[in-house]
Each structure stands twice: as structure tokens, then as C-alpha cells.
Amino acid sequence: EDKVVQSPLSLVVHEGDTVTLNCSYEVTNFRSLLWYKQEKKAPTFLFMLTSSGIEKKSGRLSSILDKKELFSILNITATQTGDSAIYLCAGGGNSGGSNYKLTFGKGTLLTVNP
Amino acid sequence: SQTIHQWPATLVQPVGSPLSLECTVEGTSNPNLYWYRQAAGRGLQLLFYSVGIGQISSEVPQNLSASRPQDRQFILSSKKLLLSDSGFYLCAWSGNSGGYTFGSGTRLTVV
């Protein structure tokens, strides 16, 4: 059974701090690792990682994948109150044919205090 | 461009009543479609996925069923709701790139 584990489950920081969110995965026929941000409603896409060691960056957010250790991290620098959200990690794999599906972790609840 | 529509946004239903949630995708053909539920524990649990019309795979045994009557339509149903069916239901689609796009979600409260 595919499994994705995120840590920590919750985190409280002050504005300006840097945070690192962790994600480990065990996914059959692994294809990709995705990060999403969820505020009040549906998750919004942040990154998709398919290759080891190549950092993806978007503003203050960055992420990297280690396919040997089955691990990914999401970094947020100079955090702002608007970064407060649940951050979801998901592992994507093909169980057979075109049966691609994402298995999600429980998420990390990030609270950024002013 | 591709868009995904999910409705209704919120729903309050009594125990034992039926359920029908609908999801449609525009701007793509033959998408993979998914139904997820997010309960209080925050993780997203895959309920059903479909790779084509009439093809439904169920991930967990439960009180719900899914159907795909048309290429870009995915429906989540129940004949009789239970209290434990309460949660946030998300429809999603994926194409060849491997990323998911989510609908806006339906918050279901069974009372």
C-alpha cells in the first residue's frame, strides 16, 4: 500500500522565520512528488518534482526531491502571515496502465504569527 | 484552458437521505478523474478514480459509489447517508503531465 508521511504535523513560527517541511514516501511505480497549499478550500498546486537533486523555486518557496532516500522538503523563507495554511505532500505512481493516482500525506499545518 | 466544476459548495443532509455530487471538466478529453474526501484528520483519502467512461475503481469500502456517465462527468452518490460521511469532498482531474487540478470542493454535513 502506498504511503506518504509528513512532518511536523503542525508548526507555529513568527513572520520572517524560515521553515522546512518534510515528506517521505513509499509509492509503487513512483512518477512524481507534488506539493500543494490548502487554505480554506481546495488545494492549490505548488510544485511537481520528478528528478532527484533539482531544486524547484517559486519566490520564497523552494522544494527538492531525493529519490534515493524517498524524501522531499519544502522550504519557505522570510515567512509571512499569508503563508499560514496546510501544506500537503503527495506521491504519484502508476498502479498499472494509465491508473495514475496521488497518495496524500496528512499535511503540515503552518501558522505564521505577526 | 482546462477548468473543473464541482457543485454544490456546501450541503447539509439528514442521516439516511441520498447524495449526489457532480463534477465536470472542460477543455480536455479522456481525463483521469478522482474523488477524494478530507475529514478532520486533514489528509486526503482517495475514494474513487476513473480512467474512462464507465470505468470506476474503488479504493476503500464504504457507503458511497461513483459513476462516469460521460467522458468529462464524474458523480459521487450514496443511497443512504451516514454521519461518518460528513467531510470535505474534492473532485480532481489529471492529464498526461501527472499533476492534479482540484475542483472547489463540497463541504457535506450529515445531521
Ranges A4-8, A94-98, B101-105, B106-110: which has the least confidence: A94-98
> pLDDT category, A114, cuts 50, 70, 90?
very high
CB–CB of A41 and B105 under 8 A? yes
Query: Closest-CA residue in chain A for B41?
Result: A106
Whether B33 shows a pLDDT value over 70: the answer reads: yes
- The mean per-residue pLDDT over the stretch A98-107 comes to 84
- Within 8 A of B58 by CB-CB distance, chain A residues are none
Strand partners, B100: B94
Whether A96 shows a pLDDT value over 70: the answer reads: no
- The mean per-residue pLDDT over the stretch B68-73 comes to 94
Highest mean pLDDT among B27-31, B92-96, B99-103, B104-108: B104-108
> pLDDT category, B59, cuts 50, 70, 90?
confident
- The mean per-residue pLDDT over the stretch B36-47 comes to 84
CB–CB of A88 and B44 under 8 A? yes
What rounded mean pLDDT belongs to chain B? 90
For A46, A111, B65, the CA distances from B62, given in Å and listed in that order, are: 31, 34, 8
CB–CB of A107 and B90 under 8 A? no
Min CA distance, A61 vs chain B (Å)?
18
How do strand A108-113 and strand A10-14 relate by DSSP bridges?
A: parallel
Residues of B with CB under 8 A from a CB of A: 32, 34, 36, 41-46, 49, 51, 57, 90, 94, 97-105
The predicted pLDDT at position B98 comes to: 67
The predicted pLDDT at position A19 comes to: 98
What one-character-per-residue DSSP string does B9-57 give? SEEEE-TT--EEEEEEEES-SS-EEEEEEE-TT--EEEEEEEEETTEEE
The predicted pLDDT at position B20 comes to: 96
The predicted pLDDT at position A97 comes to: 56
Is cis: bond before A8, omega within 30 of 0? yes
Ranges A49-63, B20-34, B41-55: which has the least confidence: B41-55
